[in-house]
Amino acid sequence: MILLGEAATAAFGQRLASLLRPGDVVTLEGDLGAGKSTLARACIQALAGAPIEVPSPTFTLVQVYDLPAFALWHVDLYRLGEPAEVDELGLDEAAFGVLLIEWPDRLPRGSFPERLHLRLEAVDADRRGLSVEAGPAWQARAHKLA
C-alpha cells in the first residue's frame, strides 16, 4: 500500500484507532522520518477525540495516555542498547490497554506474536510504502485497514 503524504499517513492512523481494542499490540517499523510518529500521533489523537499533544517518547521511552476506551502505551525503543532492557519498561502492565511500539527490532525475539506489525518506508518525499503483517489476533480485522 502507498500512503500519499502526511495526511494519508494520519488517515491510516485514524483507521487503525477505530480497530484497536484492549490487549492489542501494534509495532511500527521504519527508518527515521518514515512516518511512524505521524501515524502514532494520529491514532492517539483519534482515540482521545481531540488534537491532544502527543510528543515522541524517544527520550522518555514510554508515554501512557489514559484514553476514554483504554490506556494506550506509546513506546519508543530506539535508544535501547539490547533486548534485555525492554524488561525494565514494565510493558506487561499494559495488558489491559494497548501497546503501540516504535522500533520493534529492539524487542526480545518472539515478543508479542499476536501483534499487528506495520512497516513504513519512504518511497520519496511525498510517498510512504506501508506493509501490514497481521498476527492471529488481527486476522479478522486487518483487511479493514486497506
For the stretch 43-84, pLDDT in tens is 999 999 998 999 888 888 999 999 999 999 999 999 888 888
SS3 110: coil
Report, as an integer, the average pLDDT of 16-38.
Answer: 93
Cβ-Cβ contacts under 8 Å for 45 (sequence gap 6 or more): 51, 52, 54
What string of H, E and C letters represents the secondary structure of the chain?
CEEEHHHHHHHHHHHHHHHCCCCCEEEEECCCCCCHHHHHHHHHHHHHCCCCCCCCCCCCCEEEEECCCCEEEEEECCCCCCHHHHHHHCHHHHCCCEEEEECHHHCCCCCCCCCEEEEEEECCCCEEEEEEEECHHHCCCHHHHC
Could you give the domains of the chain?
Answer: 2-145 (3.40.50.300)
What digits encode the pLDDT tens for the residues 108-126? 888 899 999 999 998 888 8
